[in-house]
Amino acid sequence: MPYPVLRVHLDIMENNITKIVLKAAEHGISVWAVTKGLSAPLQLARMLSGTKVSALADSRIMNIRRIKEDGIKTPLALIRIPMPSEINDVIELADYSLVSDLGTLELMSKACESKKKEHSVLLMADMGDLREGFWPDKAEAIAAGVKNLSPALNIVGIGVNYGCASGVLPSRESMEKFVSFGEKIESELGKKLEIYSGGATTRSLIAMDEGLFPERVNNLRIGEGYLLGSDKSSGVIVPWLRQDTMELEAELVEVRRKPTKPIGEVGRDAFGNVPCFEDRGDRLRGILAIGRQDVNIGGLTPLEEGVKIITASSDHLLVDMEECPAEHKVGGILRFKLDYPAMLSSSTSPYVTKIYEGWC
């Protein structure tokens, strides 16, 4: 088998998403399962389509195309702002999209008319994270801007994002302002909005039972929660979910005792950094055939006792193995836990073999 390998346990992820859907349902909240963290492999999409999620959500229209062409019937949502250049594909392939620009809505309206096809839109509100979204105090003007759009472009709800750009976390006060934004839109349009999508994994799962969400919030877009059982923005694991959903395996290509302090004048490394190393004498060091071109090294945690990451180049990962009780030789395999950036980067790397286990 070609290494490195990203080994994904779909059965554990299925267990996680099932728990999330059930807990959310207790609060009247539906769940869109976000697939982008693993680059939307069909094995994952097929597993999720057999659960009680109300949609599969991804940020790339090419991923949505692949899922749709596979025959999966679960509704599909594009959760990155549609580019004008891809609007025809968005209308053709996705059931929902998240939009934060009136010009984009006008282009989508024309595409719906020309294709004679309906499409549903959530208007995004910016509640302080300063990523996508209309300003909430402009609700009346926004509603006025969409009144004359084609009825085929159905404004079905509002959405908000937290944590991804500026690290802003949701609060009860912010959620209430978000709901107020939606209710102003409803008043201007003269219709009730079906979906109030209150964000993603960020704080949602750990604070759901603490009254974070007003009653009108009835949808969440969850990725990291079921993929990793964690909430990186809040810096916690979700205690009622499992975290052993995947691991990265890499092959040792050198095992040798070497000094811990470089020999000679030290300049910048291949990535422009000036490294600094403590002199700890000679220690057992391993080199793995994986590097920064394959994965975000900072997001890896060794699963092998006594192994510590030293540094990495584009193609090699250096680890200290002095305190590892197990004996390792060239050709041996070391395993690592991944955080969200490491998962994201390894899943998009063509040099990493992906293996999906535990579900068929």
Taking the C-alpha atoms of residue 77 and residue 95, their distance in angstroms, rounded to an integer, is: 6
Catalytic residues: 36
Cβ–Cβ under 8 Å, residues 332 and 252: yes
Percent of the chain clearing pLDDT 90 (strictly above): 90
Residue for token digits 């492999």?
41
Residues 160-203: tens digit of each pLDDT: 999 988 899 999 999 999 999 999 999 999 999 999 999 999 99
298: DSSP letter: G
Taking the C-alpha atoms of residue 4 and residue 82, their distance in angstroms, rounded to an integer, is: 34
pLDDT at 96 over 80: yes
Beta partners for residue 308, in sequence order: 320
Residue 160: alpha-carbon gap to chain centroid: 15
| Tokens read off for 187 | 């008043």
Q: Which residue has the higher pLDDT, 223 or 166?
A: 223
Residues 228-263: tens digit of each pLDDT: 999 988 888 999 999 999 999 999 999 999 998 887
pTM of the model: 0.95
| Tokens read off for 87 | 């609007």
| Tokens read off for 43 | 């094995």
Q: Which residue has the higher pLDDT, 263 or 327?
A: 327
Q: What amino acid is encoded at 348 in this protein?
A: T
For residue 275, whether the previous peptide bond is cis, meaning omega lies within 30 degrees of 0, is: no
Average pLDDT over every residue of 155-162: 97
289: DSSP letter: S
Taking the C-alpha atoms of residue 103 and residue 213, their distance in angstroms, rounded to an integer, is: 31
| Tokens read off for 244 | 């052993």
Among 12-26, 260-274, 292-306, which stretch is predicted with the lowest mean pLDDT? 260-274
92: DSSP letter: H
Domains of the chain: 10-237 (3.20.20.10), 246-357 (2.40.30)
The confidence band for 360, taking pLDDT boundaries of 50, 70 and 90, is low
